[in-house]
Amino acid sequence: MRKHNDEHLKQEQIIWAVVDEKELSEGDQLHLMRCQLCQDRVAQFMTELQVFGERAEFSVPPLTKILQMPAPERSTAKYRLSWIPFAGAAAMAGLVFFFYFLGMDAMSPKWTTVEGPDNLLEDEYLMQEISEIVEYPLPEELYEITGDAADIDDDFLEFVVPDFQENSQS
């Protein structure tokens, strides 16, 4: 820090004066206010920088691109509301599917038990017919040929074909 106001500012103080005069000490600020030479040095440096800035500004090529205005943003409330029709449609679709599958289930064939007495009687007749068919699978004409259909009892058969054991004993 300079003690005497009559001493000119040093280079670093000139720079500080360009940055911000308030950064100088009170003594230096006082000197700068009174000394034309120091004022000129500060002003010259500032002007150099200013001219440099202007030169830079004029050396920039012109803006040729047409800037596009950004697209408007959707408001949050509208964004939330926009989901309502979609949610409704989804719910409707869900209901349609639900009832559709419910209908399919109702219409599908089911095994049910026969409970009426008439039905039971019919079943019994049916079972009898089946048993008869099992027992006598051939037509009656064929049984006549084989002899099964004629009234041939055991005595007659004994007569025709005597028992071998009985004959050997006698």
Partner 1 sequence: MIFIPFRGQARGFKLYSLCLLNFDESGRCYGRMTTEESKNMSLKIAGLAEKAMAGNRGSFQELMTMLQEDIYRLAYYRTFSQMDAEDITQEVFVQAYKKIKTLHDPQRFRAWLYTIAVNRCNDFLRKKKYLFLLQSRSAQEQEFVEADKMDNDYTDAIAKKKFWEQVRLLLDKLSTMERQVFTLRFMDHRNINDIATILGKNESTVKTHLYRALNKVREESLFFQEYRELIS
Q: Which residues bind partner 1 (CB under 8 A)?
A: 11-12, 15-16, 18-20, 23, 44-70, 72-73
Q: How far is the CB of 25 from partner 1 (least distance, A)?
A: 15
Q: How far is the CB of 36 from partner 1 (least distance, A)?
A: 17
> How far is the C-alpha of 4 from the C-alpha of 10, rounded, in Å?
13
Tokens of 89: 């449609």
> How far is the C-alpha of 106 from the C-alpha of 28, rounded, in Å?
102
> How far is the C-alpha of 147 from the C-alpha of 161, rounded, in Å?
15
Tokens of 98: 């639900």
> How far is the C-alpha of 106 from the C-alpha of 96, rounded, in Å?
15
Which residue, 51 or 89, has its beta carbon nearer to partner 1? Answer: 51
Q: For residue 65, give the 3-state DSSP assignment.
A: coil
Backbone angles phi, psi at 77, to 5 degrees: -65, -45
Q: How far is the CB of 38 from partner 1 (least distance, A)?
A: 15
Which residue, 64 or 167, has its beta carbon nearer to partner 1? Answer: 64
Q: How far is the CB of 108 from partner 1 (least distance, A)?
A: 57
Which residue, 48 or 123, has its beta carbon nearer to partner 1? Answer: 48
